[in-house]
Structure 1
Amino acid sequence: MTFLLFYYCFYYHRPLEFSEADYPRVEYQRRQHFWDPIRLALFTLAIVAIIGIAIGIVTHFVVEDDKSFYYLASFKITNIKYKENYGMKSSREFIERSHQIERMMSRIFRRSGGSRFIKSHVIKLSPDEHGVKILMVLMFRYPSTDSAEQIKKKIERILYQSLKTKQLPLTINKPSFTLTSIDSKKMRNLLNSRCGIRMTSSNMPLPASSSTERIVQGRETALEGEWPWQVSLQLIGAGHQCGASLISNTWLLTAAHCFRRNKDPSQWIATFGTTITPPAVQRSLGKIIVHENYHRETNENDIALAQLTTRVEFSNIVQRVCLPDSSIKLPPKTSVFVTGFGSIVDDGPTQNKLRQARVETISTDVCNRKDVYDGLITSGMLCAGFMEGKVDACKVSPKSRSKLDLKRKFPLAISKFGIYFP
C-alpha cells in the first residue's frame, strides 16, 4: 500500500485583530447527521446479509464438500424362502420383496445419527439353502476427506448394532454380510440390470414426486432422469406426435392410435430426455408393430411396439421401465403418474419440456356408469384421474375427439401400459 505523508508547517506570528463591521458574522445551517436510526439499521442488515452469503459460499465449497460413496452389499436372509418368480426382476414377487428389503435398510441407517444414507437398490435375489441371498447397492454421502474404508467401517458398525436389537422384519445372517466399495461406473452398470431406476445426472436418486397439477397446467420435470424411459415419437417434418416408454434397449411401447396416419417406420424418429429440442438421445425407427386386435372405434387393444434401428445405452437419463404383470389389479385410488409433452391448454401447442401429473385409479364399475363412460371401459383399460376432472393428459382436437374423450370433467381412460407407478 502507498501512504501519502502530509507535512504541515506551523508558523508562529502575532495574531491580527479585525472588527465585526469588516467581517460580518455568517450563520451556517447545521448539517443533518447521516447516520439516522433507519439508515443505520439498513446498513447493518446489508452488512449481515453480505457476511451470511460469504459464510454460505465458504460452507458450500469447503465445509460441505461431500462426495457420493457406493457399496455392494451381499448377505443372506434366513426367515424367508426363495420363490421362483424372484428370478424375474419385473415380477410382483421380486418387486415387493425388494422394496421390503430396501425399506428395512433405510430404517436401519436413518435411525443412526452418524449415518448419511441416501438410498439402496436390490440387484438380485438368489436361492440359498438357508433362505434367500441378497445382492444390493448402498449409497451414502460423506465428506470427501473421508476414505471409503473409514466409511465402510461406520456402515458395518451401524448394521451390526441393528442386528443385535433383533427388531428387524427380516433376519439377516451376520456372518454372511460382506461390503465392497465400488465406483460410480460399477454402480451404474449394476443398476442397469434393473428396470425402473430413476436417478439424477449426478448419480443421486430422485425424491418422491408429489405433483397434483394436471399436465394441462402441470409442473415441469425438475431434473434430468426423473422419467428416463419417457420417449417422444416424432414424424419427420411434423414434430412430436405421441409419447412412448422404453422397455428394452431396442423396443418402445406406445399406443396403436399413434400410427393411424403413418405406419412407415422410416418417417419416424424417437428422442429421449426432458426436452424435445435439444434431445438427449435420438434414434430412428426400424419396425412398427400395431396390436392385431386394435379397434379404432372402441379403442380396445390400443397398444403398439416400435423397434429402434440402433440400441440405446442405459444411463441416468435413459433407462427402461418395468412392465407390470399381465394379472395386475390396481385397487381404486392407487397413486400413479402420467407424463408427456402435451399441451398445457385445450388444443394448444406441444410443450418442449416434459411434464408430469399425479392421478388416482378409479374402478371400472364407476367409470362404466351411464353418466360417465357408459360401458366403454373394457378389461384392457383402466380409469385414472378424478371424477371432478382437473387432471388429465389428453391432447385431442375437436375433429378427432372420440366418445371417450368427449367430456373433460371425466377421468382419463387409458391403456394399462400407459401409467407409471411412483
Structure 2
Amino acid sequence: MMYVPAEFSEADYPRVHYQRQQFWDPTRLSLFTVAIVAIIVISIGIVTHFVVEGDKSFYYLASFKVTNIKYKENYGIKTSREFIERCYQIERMMSRIFQHSSGKDRFIKSHVIQLSPDENGVNILMVLMFQYPSTDSAERIRKKIKRILYQSLKTQQLPLTINKQSFTLTPIDSKKMRNFLNSRCGIRMTSSYVPLPAFFSTERIVQGSKTAMEGEWPWQASLQLIGVGHQCGASLISNTWLITAAHCFRRNKDPRQWIATFGTTITPPRVRRNVAKIIIHENYHRETNENDIALAQLATRVEFSNVVQKVCLPDSSIKLPPKTRVFVTGFGSIVDDGPTQNRLRQARVETISTGVCNRKDVYDGLITSGMLCAGFMEGKVDACKGDSGGPLVYDNHDIWYLVGIVSWGQSCARPKKPGVYTRVAQYRDWIASKTGI
C-alpha cells in the first residue's frame, strides 16, 4: 500500500466557556496591585542579572596549516567520505585541545569550512564557537584562545602537526558565522546558533506526542497544492532544489499549482516559495514503486538560516548496516489513516536488511536495489500517510545525510511491515545529471 499524499485538514478545537463571578473588591484589588509591582521588580532584577552576568556566544574564524598530511582531490568535495572523515579528525582534535584546558567549559563546537592545498601540507579554515560572560570582550577572549592553543602545541601529543606561525584567529558575528556554515550541508543549529547534537532527537511519528523543535530538521519542506493543502514532504538539497517522491505528483504535475513551505508548522509557515519545475524519474513505475524519486525546483532561492538549511546527499558507495539508527520526519498521520498534522514530527527507526525485508512473511520479494527498509519488525514506529516524499536521514559525526525518501508500506506501523524508502545513494548520478549537485 502506497503512502498516499494526504490532504491537509485542520483539527477542530472545542471552545471552553468559563462562568464569570465577582472577584474584585477594593482590598483584593490593592493586594493584587502590590503583588504585581513586587513581581515586576523581581523580574527586572533577574533579567538585569542575566543580561549583565549571563554567558554570550562568541564566534571565531580560525585559519592554520597542517604539515603532516597531504592534500587529496576529494577534499574539495564537501560531501565526500575523505572530506568528512578529515573534518571529523580536525574537529575532534580541537575538542580535545580545549577540553584539556582551563577553557573546557567555554568551548561549544567547531566546524571545518574548507580544506585547501598547500605545498607543505593542507590549509584549514574553520569556525570555533565559545560561550563566555557577556561582559568579556571578543579581543580578550581571542587572546585566551590563542594562549590555550599554543600551550597545547607544547604539551599535548596531537595527531596533526599545526604550524604555529600560520595560525590566525578572527572574531566574527553570528551572521557571518552562519554564512560560513552555509557552505556545509547537514548542520542543525538552534536560534542562538548553537549546534544541535545528534542524540537530541528521539520522538516518533506514529503514536508519538512530542513535535520537532525549530532548527531540528531545517531541510524538511511541505509540498502543497494551492487551494488544497499539504500533500507530501520533501528535503532541501540546495537553495533552489527539493527532492521528494515521484508518486506525490501522480494527480498533478503542473508546477504552477504547487508551493513549498518550510518551518515546523504548515500554518503558519516560516518560509513560502512557488515551484518552478517538477522532474519525475523517467523510469518511475507506479505498480512496483520502483524509481520513486522526483525533484522540484523553487521559483526563487531560499536564504539559509537556522530554520532553513540543506541536507547532505550521501556518497553513492555508502552502505548502512542493519540496525543503523536513522530518523524520519514529516507532517503525516500519527495513526493509520488519521489526519495530517500541522506540526512537524520525528521518529527514530532502524535500517532493516533487504534480505529480511524480502522474506515471504514481510514483503515477499518486492524490495529492489533502489529501495531501503527502515522501522522495526514489531511495528509501532513508522512513517504514515502524508509523510510521503519526506526525509530519512542518517547522522555521521553530527552531519546529516539524506539516505531515504518516504515511498511506500503496507498500512502504518504494522508488525513485519516496515516503511520502505527510496534509496538515495542509488540515484546520485541521476540527481547530479538534473541539478548539478
> What is the TM-score of this pair, normalised by structure 2?
0.78
Closer, same or farther: CA 332–56 of 1 in aligned 2, 3 Å: farther
Please list, as runs of the form range in 1=range in 2, the aligned pairs for 1:4-403 lying within 5 A after superposition: 57=46, 61-62=50-51, 64-115=53-104, 116-218=106-208, 220-395=210-385
Alignment length (residue pairs): 365
1:29 aligns to what?
none
CA distance in 1 between partners of 2:366 and 2:141 (Å)? 58
CA distance in 2 between partners of 1:140 and 1:258 (Å)? 44
Contact in 1 for aligned 2:61/2:170 (Cα 8 Å): yes
Give the match's secondary structure for 2:115: strand
Closer, same or farther: CA 262–316 of 1 in aligned 2, 3 Å: same
Identical aligned residues as a percent? 83
- Which region of structure 1 is more displaced relative to structure 2, 295-304 or 95-104? 95-104
Contact in 2 for aligned 1:73/1:177 (Cα 8 Å): yes
Deviation at 1:126, TM superposition (A): 0.7
CA distance in 2 between partners of 1:55 and 1:112 (Å)? 36
The one of 409, 418, 433 equivalent to 1:411 is: 418
Closer, same or farther: CA 210–148 of 1 in aligned 2, 3 Å: closer
- Which region of structure 1 is more displaced relative to structure 2, 111-120 or 153-162? 111-120
> What is the TM-score of this pair, normalised by structure 1?
0.81
Q: Deviations over 1:189-216 (max 9, x none)?
A: 1111111121112222123334444311
Q: Which amino acid aligns with 2:142?
A: K
- Which region of structure 1 is more displaced relative to structure 2, 335-344 or 216-225? 216-225
- Name structure 1 gaps, 5 residues minimum: 1-49
CA distance in 2 between partners of 1:332 and 1:138 (Å)? 35
Contact in 2 for aligned 1:220/1:353 (Cα 8 Å): no
Contact in 2 for aligned 1:212/1:359 (Cα 8 Å): no
Q: Deviations over 1:104-126 (max 9, x none)?
A: 21222123243401111110011
CA distance in 1 between partners of 2:80 and 2:217 (Å)? 21
Closer, same or farther: CA 240–60 of 1 in aligned 2, 3 Å: farther
CA distance in 1 between partners of 2:321 and 2:94 (Å)? 28
Give the match's secondary structure for 1:209: helix
CA distance in 1 between partners of 2:181 and 2:258 (Å)? 30
Give the match's secondary structure for 1:360: strand
Q: Deviations over 1:258-282 (max 9, x none)?
A: 1111111111110001110100000
Q: Deviations over 1:129-156 (max 9, x none)?
A: 2221110000111111111111011111
Deviation at 1:361, TM superposition (A): 1.3
Deviation at 1:402, TM superposition (A): 6.1
Q: Which has the higher contact order (CA 8 A, sep 6+)?
A: 2
CA distance in 2 between partners of 1:259 and 1:54 (Å)? 53
Give the match's secondary structure for 1:167: coil
CA distance in 1 between partners of 2:144 and 2:319 (Å)? 42
Give RMSD over aligned pairs. Answer: 2.5
Contact in 1 for aligned 2:332/2:386 (Cα 8 Å): no
Contact in 2 for aligned 1:335/1:358 (Cα 8 Å): yes
Q: Which amino acid aligns with 2:422?
A: S
Contact in 1 for aligned 2:57/2:130 (Cα 8 Å): yes
Contact in 1 for aligned 2:233/2:386 (Cα 8 Å): no
Q: Deviations over 1:35-54 (max 9, x none)?
A: xxxxxxxxxxxxxxx9xx98
CA distance in 1 between partners of 2:412 and 2:295 (Å)? 23
- Name structure 2 gaps, 5 residues minimum: 1-38, 388-406, 426-437
CA distance in 2 between partners of 1:341 and 1:250 (Å)? 22
Determine which structure has more spread, i.e. the larger CA radius of gyration: 1
Deviation at 1:55, TM superposition (A): 12
Contact in 1 for aligned 2:231/2:248 (Cα 8 Å): yes
